[in-house]
Amino acid sequence: MVGFLGANGAGKTTTLKMLCGLIYPSSGQVLVAGHQPQRRHPDFLRRITLVMGQKQQLIWDLPPMDSLRVNAAVYGIPDRVASRRIAELSDLLELGEELTRPVRKLSLGQRMKAELLAALLHEPEVLFLDEPTLGLDVNAQLRVRQFLAEYNRRTGATILLTSHYMADITALCPRVLLIHQGQLFHDGPLDRLTSRLAPERHVRLELEQPAPAEAFNGLGHLDSLENCEVNLRVDPASLTRVLAQILERFEVRDLEVNDPPIDQLIGELFRQGSL
Amino acid sequence: MGRYWRTLRRFWGTALATQLEYQLNVLVELLAVVLSLGGSLLLLSLFFGPGRELGGWSWNQALIVQGFYTVFDGMTTAWLRPNLGAIVTYVREGTLDFVLLKPIDSQFWVSLRTFAPAGLSEVVLGLGLAAWGAHQSGVVLTPAVLVTVLLMLMVAAVILYSLWFLIAATSIWFVKTWNATEVLRALLASGRYPLEAYPAPLRLLFTLVLPVAFLTTVPAEVLLGRASFPLLALGIVLSAGFFAAARSFWLFALRHYTSASS
C-alpha cells in the first residue's frame, strides 16, 4: 500500500489518471503491471481499478446490485462467480440489504462502500484510490480503512491511495510518495515524512474561565487565545505531559487534539523552503 | 461476442428498471407520441388537396414516407438521444473515465448503454402507418421487396446513428453540443416529406451531404417498386462510409480526452 500525497493542484489526480491510461503522457514512459496504460489493453484494464471519491459509477436510480450485475457482464464474470464475490465483499464491507435499495436512498458512506464493491468485483491486482474517504463521517472512514487493510492482506493487491485525511495514510500506508508541482519530493517510509511534516500536534481547548497568555508558558506554542478558546501547538514527545498539566492547571470544558490537515502541513513544509 | 450480448441485456434490463422507477413518465411520453403523430399527419394533409399530388407522390404514398420518418423519430427517442445525448454528461462529470477503464469497447458502451421504451411505440406506429400507406397504394409485398426494404431501413439507421454520433463525439472538446444535435434533428424533420417535394439543390444536399433521403424516401421507393439499383448501392456505400468516419473520429477524439478534474 502506497500513500500518495501532495497539495491541491500538485498533480495527484493527473498522475493517477495517467497510471490508469486515461490521459497520455506528453513525454516519458509509464509502465503499470507490465503494460503501457495509455493503450488501455483489455488485459491491463482487467487488472486495475479506479475509485474516485467524487465520482460514482453506480446507477443512481437503481439498487447497487443492478450495477454490480452490469459490471459482472462487462468483465465477463460468470453469474455464479459474481454472486460468490459479491457475497464475500459485501460481508467484508458490512453491506447487506443496502445492495437492494436504490443508490439515491443510500447514505454517502453506504454508497462509497458499494462503489468499492463495484470497483473490486473483477479482483484487480492494482487499485488506484483517489480520495476514497472524502466527505465520510469518522465511522465510515474507519470502516473503509479497515476494509482496505483487510483486502490488501487477503489479496496482496497493490494499492495507491490519495487522501486529504492524514489518518488514512498513517493507518494504511507504510510507504509514502509526496509530490509538489509535479516533482517527486519524498519516497519512503511514513514516519520519516511525518517527522518532517507534522512535528507538532494541534491542541484546542475550551476553558470554563478565561486565562491570560502567560498561563500557557512552557506548554507549547500559543497560536491563538480568544476568551475561553485556546489553540496550542505541542511537540508530540511531550504531548501527554502537556495534557496532564493543562487538566491540572485549568478547568477544561472541552479538549481536542488534532493532526494539522495534510494540505496545511505540506504547505508549511514548502513555505519553510526545505525544497 | 457472448460477453457483449450479455452486457447488452444487462444494459437494457437496467434501463427498463430505471424507467419503471418513474412509471407516470412513461405514460406521459406515450401520450406525447400519439399527439405528435396526429399533428404531423394533419400538417401533411394540408399539402394535399382533393386528388392532388406532392412532387409526384400521392397521399397514400406520402403516408409511407411519413411512416418511415416516424420510425426514425422513434429510433431517435428510444436509442440515439438517451445514449448519445448522455456523452456530454459523461464528459462534463468525468464519468467517461469509468467507461474508458472497462475492458469493453467504449463506443459500444456509450452507444447502447440505455434505451427509452416510449420511443418504441413510435417505431411501431410508424411501421403501421407505412404498412397502411403501402396497402392503400396497392403495393404487393414480395419477400424480395421486404428484404430490400429492411436492408435500406438498416442502411438508414446506420447513417442516422453515425451522423448523430459524429456530432455527439465533438463534446469531448466542446462539452456542450446540445444545440448541434437539435439542428440535426430539425434537418431530419425534412425527411418527413418525399424528396421530390423539395427544389433540386436541396435534393442534392439531402442525398449526398446529409443523406436524409436515404432515411425515408429511398425505403419508400423500394416499397413502391421504383428504386434504382445504383441508388441502393450508393446508400450502402454511404452508410459504410459514415460509420467508418464515426468510428475513427471517436478513436481520434479519445486521444484528446483530458478528463474532468476531481
Q: What is the pLDDT of residues A1-36, one digit of tens each?
A: 999 987 777 788 889 999 999 988 888 889 999 999
Compute CA A150 distance to the chain's CA centroid, rounded to the nearest angstrom.
Answer: 15
Averaged over B192-215, what is the pLDDT?
84
Alpha carbon of A5 to those of A158, A183, A265, B9: distances in Å? 17, 12, 11, 41
Calpha distance B214→B157 (Å, rounded): 9
- State yes or no: pLDDT of B196 exceeds 60: yes
Could you say which of A55, A62, A74 has the minimum Cβ distance to residue B97? Answer: A55
Burial of A96 (0-12, 13-18, 19+ CB in 10 A): exposed
- State yes or no: pLDDT of B32 exceeds 70: yes
Could you say which of B3, B93, B95 has the minimum Cβ distance to residue A76? Answer: B3
Averaged over B17-42, what is the pLDDT?
82
Burial of A113 (0-12, 13-18, 19+ CB in 10 A): buried
User: Which helix (H) or strand (E) element contains residue B2?
Assistant: helix B2-21
- State yes or no: pLDDT of B19 exceeds 70: yes
- pLDDT > 90 fraction of chain B, expressed in percent and rounded: 40
Averaged over B122-127, what is the pLDDT?
92
- State yes or no: pLDDT of A61 exceeds 50: yes
Cell of B48: 394535399
Give the residue numbers spanning the domain of B101: 2-260
pLDDT band at A81 (very low <50, low <70, confident <90, very high): very high
pLDDT band at A41 (very low <50, low <70, confident <90, very high): very high
Domain count of the fold of chain B: 1
Interface test with B, best of A20, A41, A70, A127 (most B CBs within 10 A): A70
B138-175 tens-digit pLDDT: 888 889 899 999 999 999 999 999 999 998 888 888 87
B45-76 tens-digit pLDDT: 877 766 677 778 888 888 999 999 999 999 99
Q: What is the CA radius of gyration of chain B?
A: 19
Which residues in chain B have their CB less than 8 angstroms from residue A70's CB? 7, 10-11, 14
Q: What is the mean pLDDT of chain B?
A: 87
Q: Torsion angle of alpha carbons B148, B149, B154, B159, nearest 10°? A: 100
Which residues in chain B have their CB less than 8 angstroms from residue A59's CB? 14, 18
Averaged over B68-89, what is the pLDDT?
90
Domain boundaries, chain A: 2-194, 199-258
Nearest to B102 by CA among A105, A176, A73: A73
- State yes or no: pLDDT of A80 exceeds 90: yes
Averaged over A267-275, what is the pLDDT?
59
Which pLDDT value is given to residue B195?
86
Does A54 or A73 have the greater pLDDT score?
A73
ipTM of the complex: 0.82
Calpha distance B54→B220 (Å, rounded): 14
Could you say which of B7, B21, B103 has the minimum Cβ distance to residue A61? Answer: B21
Which pLDDT value is given to residue A217?
82
Interface test with B, best of A13, A14, A17 (most B CBs within 10 A): A17
CATH number of A199-258: 3.30.70
- For residues A270 and A180, the answer to whether their CB atoms sit within 8 Å is yes
Which residues have a Cβ under 8 Å from the Cβ of B154 and sit 6 or more positions away? none
Q: Match 439499383 to its residue by C-alpha cell.
A: B229
Which pLDDT value is given to residue A31?
92
**Closest CA of chain B from A67, distance in Å:** 8
Burial of A171 (0-12, 13-18, 19+ CB in 10 A): middle
Report the top-level CATH class of A2-194. Answer: alpha beta
Which pLDDT value is given to residue A27?
85
Calpha distance A38→A20 (Å, rounded): 7
Calpha distance A214→A199 (Å, rounded): 23
* H helix intervals, B48-174: 59-75, 81-93, 96-100, 106-112, 117-136, 143-169, 171-174
- State yes or no: pLDDT of A275 exceeds 60: no
* Out of A265-269, B119-123, B135-139, B170-174, least confident range: A265-269
Burial of A30 (0-12, 13-18, 19+ CB in 10 A): middle
Which pLDDT value is given to residue A95?
92
- State yes or no: pLDDT of B261 exceeds 60: no
Compute CA A98 distance to the chain's CA centroid, rounded to the nearest angstrom.
Answer: 23
pLDDT band at B239 (very low <50, low <70, confident <90, very high): very high
Does A192 or B220 have the greater pLDDT score?
B220
Which pLDDT value is given to residue B262?
45
